[in-house]
Every structure is written in C-alpha cells, then in structure tokens.
Amino acid sequence: MQAVKLPASAGWQWIFAGWYLFRQQPMALFSWAMFITLLLIVGTVAAPIGPILFIALMPSITYVTLSISRDVHAGHTIGPKKWLEPLRQPGLFKKLFLLGLIYVAICLGVGILVFLPFAGELSTAMQTLADSQDVAPLIDAVRKPMIMFAVLYFVLAALFWYSPVLIGWHNTSIVQSLFFSAIACWRNKWAFLAYGVAWAAIFFMVDFIMGVLVSLGVSIDLTATLQVPVNIAIGSILYASFYPTYISVFGQPSEITAS
C-alpha cells in the first residue's frame, strides 16, 4: 500500500473538493453533520461516560463519514436510512469500536503523562480559584500541559486519521492501519499543516464575524442562534473534505478494490 506524497497546496485543494461534494447534496451532508453534533452534545451532557463513549465511536463515525462522501461523489442519493449501512459489513463495527477503545486508552495515557508532572501547580491553582475566584493562576498552570498535549495529539491524530477507512476498505489489521495512516500523514505533513491552518482560519473568521455583529448591536442570543447552523454547515464541508484527503493519497476506492 503506497501513500502518495503531495505538495502543501493539496491542503487547500482538499477544502475546495469538500465544498464541491457539499454542493452536490448539501442537505444530506448537513443532516449528517447535525447528527454528529447531537451525538457530541449528548455525550458531553452524559459525562463522564458520554465523552469516553463518543471518542470510542469516533472511528465508526469517521468511517461512515467517508462512506457517505464516497456515495455522494459517485452520485448516489443519501438519506438517514443509508447512514449505518457501511457498518453492516460482518465484524467491521466490532473492529472499529476496538480501535476506538485503543484511541481512548492512548488519549487517557497521554493526558496522564502530560498533566501528572504539573499536578502540584494545578492543585494550588484550583485552591486559589476556590478561595479567591481568581482564574489567572489556573490558566497559567494549565497552559504548559495543554500545549504539550496538543503537540502529542497531532501525532496521535496521524495514527488514527486514515486507520478507520483502511480497516473498512482495505481490510487491514488494526496495527497495519495505524502504521499506514502514520506513514501517509507524515509523507503529507505540509499538506495537512496547510489544511489545518486553513480550517482554523475559517472557523476564526466565523467567530470574528459574529463578534462584529454583536458590536453592531445584534443581541448575543440571536448571534449565538445564527452561529449554530453556520458552524454545522461549515462542519459539513469539513467532514466532506475528509474523503478528498483519502483519495488523493491512496486513490479511488474502486481502484483499490480492483487491485
């Protein structure tokens, strides 16, 4: 399995390709993005088990997202009844859920390793917050471990970026999928950097525009209400762009199946 090495400009091209897919069936992709948002909200409310379960389901959600985008790209009409069809392949959901549990375990392990050395500072900052309601010491104490975790998370994301679809479409083992995903992401690190920076800029621009509306006198409640569907729509394009990142690196699924 050979991953193509692409220039940094591919990061921009992936976003435009995602926009192209979104325009083909906007309501189908918007509905799927809204469903993911609802799952995230439910998972957050049902803490502490909910967030863990949501993370464990992420490989399955990612695989369904790419499968939906593939069908949209092929011109098939997508509706809610077809969302879970990709997971009906025998043994696939079990394998993806196991991958998700590994993801949870690694995230927790990395979090413990990163935050444990700062436990004393965090405890002192929490006590200061409780005594004086001063949040500044807590922000200072959290800054270093959060930066460290963010850096390590990018490495972790590379392992799991392609692994669900490699398992589902290539029938690779979990270990193989993690290895091939990491290699593919490393070979295209500059494209992914451009891709990530561009998406961060897009979401920042949305927040900036909403801030401008508030400064012009639009109520915060109305602005927040408007921002929800806007964020979901942009999220739809983001999810749709996952598929171009795959086919440009590994080729069309039909080509791979034929080989």
Please report which confidence band the pLDDT of residue 133 belongs to, taking 50, 70 and 90 as the band edges.
confident
Rounded mean pLDDT, 96-103: 96
Half-sphere exposure of 137 (CA within 13 A, CB side): 16
Q: Considering all CA atoms of the chain, what is the largest pairwise distance in Å, rounded to the nearest integer?
A: 66
The domain ranges of the chain are 10-258
What does the pLDDT look like over 59-80, one tens digit per residue? 999 999 999 999 999 999 998 9
Q: Assign 3-state DSSP to the chain and report helix, strand, coil percentages, each to 5.
A: 85, 0, 15
What does the pLDDT look like over 15-34, one tens digit per residue? 999 999 999 999 999 999 99
CA–CA distance, 51 with 59 (Å, rounded to integer): 14
pLDDT of 1: 67
- Of 8-17, 26-35, 172-181, 211-220, where does mean pLDDT reach its minimum? 211-220
pLDDT of 69: 95
CA–CA distance, 191 with 244 (Å, rounded to integer): 12
Distances in Å between the alpha carbon of 193 and those of 55, 110, 189, 197, 254? 23, 22, 6, 6, 28
Distances in Å between the alpha carbon of 189 and those of 51, 96, 161? 28, 25, 12
Instruction: Compute CA 38 distance to the chain's CA centroid, rounded to the nearest angstrom.
Output: 15
pLDDT of 253: 64
pLDDT at 251 over 80: yes
pLDDT of 257: 36
Please report which confidence band the pLDDT of residue 259 belongs to, taking 50, 70 and 90 as the band edges.
very low
Rounded mean pLDDT, 85-110: 94
What does the pLDDT look like over 3-13, one tens digit per residue? 899 999 999 99
CA–CA distance, 234 with 32 (Å, rounded to integer): 12
pTM, to two decimals: 0.87
DSSP element (H, E) containing 49: helix 49-73
Tokens of 41: 């909200």
